[in-house]
Structure 1
Amino acid sequence: MARKYIDCREFPSEKKCSVTIAADSESELLDVAAQHAVKVHGHEDTPQLRQQLKGAMHEGRPPE
């Protein structure tokens, strides 16, 4: 099973967040990324947010 990751640098924000989150499963990554989006960026945890996060997932290791 390939690791999956979301790189916050792909989303423009005032905070210029450089966090990358990785996990072995899509569901684990989705939960942690949603928590990050809510706590750090002030989003609401909605189905639309989770759908957007799913679309931002990549397989493999994040770039350096």
Structure 2
Amino acid sequence: MARKYIDCREVPSEKKCSITISADSEEELLEAAAQHAVAVHGHQDTPELRSQLKGAMHEGRPPE
């Protein structure tokens, strides 16, 4: 199974967040990214948010 990641820099935000979150499974990455979106960006944890997060996932390792 390939590693997956989400790069916050790809998502427009007033916070200009530069966090990249990675995990070995989609489920683990989705949970961590949802927690980050709620705690840091003030989003509500909704099915729509999780769908957007799934759409922002990439396979492999984040670029440096």
Give the unaligned 5+ runs of structure 2. Answer: none
Q: Does 1:35 align with 2:47?
A: no
User: Identity rate of aligned residues, in percent?
Assistant: 84
Residue 47 of structure 1: how far off its partner (Å): 0.1
Runs (4+) off by over 2 Å: none
What's the Cα RMSD here? Answer: 0.3
CA deviation profile, 1:1-59 (whole Å, cap 9, x unmatched): 10000000001111100000000000000000000000000000000000000000000
Q: Scaled by the length of structure 1, what TM-score is found?
A: 0.99
The residue matched to 1:48 in structure 2 has which SS? Answer: helix
Q: Scaled by the length of structure 2, what TM-score is found?
A: 0.99
